[in-house]
Amino acid sequence: MNFEIKYKDARGRLGVLKTPHGNIRTPALMPVIHPGKQTIDVSLYGAEVVITNAYLIYKNEDLRKIAEKEGVHKLINFSGPIVTDSGSFQLSLYGDVEVTNQEIVQFQEKIGTDIGTSLDIPTPPSVKKERAERELEVTLQRAEEALEVREELMLNSVVQGSTYPDLRSKCADILGKMDFQVHPIGAVVPLMESYRYEELVEVVMASVSHLPDDRPRHLMGAGHPMIFALAVAMGCDLFDSAAYILYAEDDRLLMPNGTLKLENLYEMPCSCEVCTSHTPEELRQMEKSERVELLARHNLNVSFAEMRRIRQSIIDGNLWELVEQRCRAHPFLLEALRSLKNFTTDLEKYDPPYKKSAFFYSGPESLNRPEVYRHWKRLERIPTKKRVLLLPRSRKPYSEYLYDIPQSYYRIIHDQSIQTLEPQSIETQLDDMQVAVVDVPFGVIPLELDQIYPLAQNESPQDYDEDSIKMVNNLLKNYLREFEEIIVSDKVLKTFRLDKTFQIDEDHLFSLPLKIMVDDHERIKRIADYQFGAGAGSGLFTGDIKIVKSRKTGKIRHVYDGEELIATLRASDGVFVLAREGARRLHSFLPYPKNRVVVNEDAEPFAREGKSIFAKFVINCDINIHAKDEVLIVNEQDQLLAFGKSILNGKEIHDFKTGQAVKTRKGGF
């Protein structure tokens, strides 16, 4: 098995799957090729891999002879990787097939398939659980049998279990312990055909969250481009599509945001070769066979363009924005997107905390994204002070645009009442006071953190919607419990309706001078706490601390102890990149195995030389590591060898045996 992840966003992975007939870049679309009716060269439109039906070849004497003699690649005239189905689709249609599981697995290996499939039982949605359990046992038995009879064939094993998440998870757990290379998620076509996307989310998440991370997942029968982005965000890597030809035969055009009927078109919908060369009327006047081929070409163009767009969005770090755009194409897709909030904890573990792209708020669904959840979890790392001052948003970074702004304030006390604040300068009260801005979508942003990604790199409408107001109100009520005294501006109080939560007397309201300067030493400690864990700032920044700022922007760039560089504050996302001394200090402060990747003896000398760490040499790691985190590379005795940036998260590092796990910055310890 050789699957390597290059980039990540959400649960989406841009990776490379190596097969005997070439590499597959994932996420990938596999056009379905009928072994006896191929009319279009799909490789011209971007297909790196295709899928065909081994059972149809097996049953057709002429096709079978060619495949057994010359191989399946010659049969369907495709030189790249070929995946074959076992006949499970026919089994779901007709209730029986004329081949055994053992026979079809051996046949797939004989004809030179790159990735074959065992003959699973595709249990449809909403059947009685007893039937689903019974058929799942047969699927698992056949999976074991497939492994026994295959020699070198890469094998799919399909996750089944109908619409019962517990059965899907059970199946994934069992199959994950076996030596398979790819895991399709089966029997979901009826859910997509009936727009039951919310149930699709449950099925997919119940499956992928229990499958090994080092194996690609294939969402079987997902051929419409409007579903691709959502499925990739949930962790699906491969898709198969007969939709390009089936929709064409019905005079329908696939688009990323839905389906168009040729009979309703006045203009062609895109800039592909078909749409720029023909009018709707010209297509309607053509012979059926010619029209079908042209519409199929359009459908392939659109489908592969969407897959390219998704791969680029993973690299750029804006996959979530694309998902939110696509899911607004249909009410039931939007419903499915909203249901993902039930899986936020899982998604947050896989979503990189730092990205190239800013966070764009596109609606209430954005409030459920992993970045928001992560911010509130990391806020718990920041030491609590006795008092807090809550300010309304301004331009970003907030701390640079708060000077001498007159504000009106109230004091909240914890007997559910709000008192008017005495008319004195808040500037004299800043000892032991946390100053924070209240804004959407992140709720509360302490000023020391206002330059960290994505707290500084986000945009939302000036007018808050009802969902965001309600969410921030709920977050504030919990947040304020930690403080003995709360001073809140009138604008925050009214905008987020705290005046409805607390009893307020509006007879007196004072405008006070506001002069706030964030202490640089306090800022670097709070950033370190937020990034590495509570207390990390004090562990890193002790001694003769000197802070060097950018001459151009005035922002912190480097932190030294005397002449020794501890860390650099990265301009793009406002987080620390460790220097050698910073790595030493963090290693001394953090208990084992926190922020650590542990390598075996073979990798130890390479780590000391500053070479990147490959997953196969890792014997342990902190399971809470995220992709793009700063990590410490140690040996089994917890001796510091090197430090660098993680490419994978903790669970992925444990699962993978191929590819890079950490990009080492420096060794030499």
259-270 pLDDT, tens digit per residue, is 999 999 999 999
- C-beta of residue 334 within 8 angstroms of C-beta of residue 72: no
- C-beta of residue 342 within 8 angstroms of C-beta of residue 348: no
Instruction: Looking at the structure, tell me whether residues 415 and 455 fall in a common domain.
Output: yes
CATH number of the CATH domain containing 625: 2.30.130.10
Instruction: Looking at the structure, tell me whether residues 572 and 447 fall in a common domain.
Output: no
Average pLDDT over residues 303-322: 97
Average pLDDT over residues 74-96: 86
Q: At what angle do helices 197-208 and 331-339 cross, to 10 degrees?
A: 30
Active-site residue list: 85
Instruction: Looking at the structure, tell me whether residues 505 and 529 fall in a common domain.
Output: no
CATH number of the CATH domain containing 218: 3.20.20.105
Instruction: Looking at the structure, tell me whether residues 168 and 85 fall in a common domain.
Output: yes
418 within a domain of the structure (yes/no): yes
- C-beta of residue 50 within 8 angstroms of C-beta of residue 42: yes
Instruction: Looking at the structure, tell me whether residues 56 and 34 fall in a common domain.
Output: yes
Buried b (16+ CB within 10 A) or exposed e, 358-371: ebbbeeebbbbbbb
Which pLDDT tens digit goes with each residue over 404-438?
Answer: 556 677 777 665 566 555 544 454 445 578 899 99
Confidence of residue 582 (pLDDT cuts 50, 70, 90): very high
Q: Residues near 295 by Cβ (< 8 Å), separated by ≥ 6?
A: 247, 248, 251, 252, 253, 262, 274, 283
Q: Residues near 618 by Cβ (< 8 Å), separated by ≥ 6?
A: 597, 598, 599, 600, 603, 653, 654, 661
pLDDT at 515 over 70: no
**For residues 617 and 614, what is the distance between their CA atoms, to the nearest angstrom?**
6
376 within a domain of the structure (yes/no): no
Instruction: Looking at the structure, tell me whether residues 246 and 264 fall in a common domain.
Output: yes
Instruction: Looking at the structure, tell me whether residues 246 and 336 fall in a common domain.
Output: yes
**For residues 394 and 456, what is the distance between their CA atoms, to the nearest angstrom?**
11
Instruction: Looking at the structure, tell me whether residues 199 and 134 fall in a common domain.
Output: yes
Q: pTM for the full model?
A: 0.94
Instruction: Looking at the structure, tell me whether residues 430 and 490 fall in a common domain.
Output: yes
**For residues 147 and 574, what is the distance between their CA atoms, to the nearest angstrom?**
50
Which pLDDT tens digit goes with each residue over 390-401?
Answer: 999 988 888 888
30 within a domain of the structure (yes/no): yes
Instruction: Looking at the structure, tell me whether residues 241 and 175 fall in a common domain.
Output: yes
CATH number of the CATH domain containing 419: 3.40.50
DSSP 359-407: EE--SGGGGGSHHHHHHHHHHTTSPP-SEEEEEE--SSSGGGS-TT--E
pLDDT of residue 425: 45
374 within a domain of the structure (yes/no): no
Buried b (16+ CB within 10 A) or exposed e, 252-276: bbbbbbebbebeebeebebebebbe
185 within a domain of the structure (yes/no): yes
Q: How far from the centroid of its chain's Cα atoms is residue 251's Cα?
A: 35
Which pLDDT tens digit goes with each residue over 468-506?
Answer: 999 999 998 888 888 888 888 888 888 998 777 666 555
Please give the residue range of the domain that contains residue 560: 519-577
Instruction: Give the burial class of 345: count Cβ atoms within 10 A of its Cβ; 0-12 exposed, 13-18 middle, 19 or more buried.
Output: exposed
Q: Considering 461, 480, 512, which residue would you say is the last residue of a domain?
A: 512
CATH number of the CATH domain containing 525: 3.10.450.90
154 within a domain of the structure (yes/no): yes
**For residues 146 and 117, what is the distance between their CA atoms, to the nearest angstrom?**
8
Query: If we measure between CA atoms, which residue out of 481, 478, 485 comes closest to residue 426?
Result: 485
- C-beta of residue 364 within 8 angstroms of C-beta of residue 467: yes
Which pLDDT tens digit goes with each residue over 218-254?
Answer: 999 999 999 999 999 999 999 998 999 999 999 999 9
pLDDT at 335 over 90: yes
Domain tally for the chain?
A: 4
Which pLDDT tens digit goes with each residue over 134-163?
Answer: 999 999 999 999 999 999 999 999 999 999
**For residues 585 and 563, what is the distance between their CA atoms, to the nearest angstrom?**
15
The more confident residue out of 413 and 2 is 2
Which pLDDT tens digit goes with each residue over 532-547?
Answer: 999 999 999 999 999 9
184 upstream amide cis, omega within 30 of 0:
no
Q: Considering 512, 538, 558, which residue would you say is the last residue of a domain?
A: 512
Instruction: Looking at the structure, tell me whether residues 132 and 239 fall in a common domain.
Output: yes
17 within a domain of the structure (yes/no): yes
Q: Considering 464, 495, 512, which residue would you say is the last residue of a domain?
A: 512
Q: How many CB atoms lie within 10 A of CB 284?
A: 13
Rg of the chain over all Cα atoms, to the nearest angstrom: 29
pLDDT at 508 over 50: no
- C-beta of residue 142 within 8 angstroms of C-beta of residue 101: yes
**For residues 157 and 138, what is the distance between their CA atoms, to the nearest angstrom?**
12
DSSP run (H or E) holding 200: helix 197-208
Token pair 């007997």 is at which residue? 415
Instruction: Looking at the structure, tell me whether residues 45 and 159 fall in a common domain.
Output: yes
400 within a domain of the structure (yes/no): yes
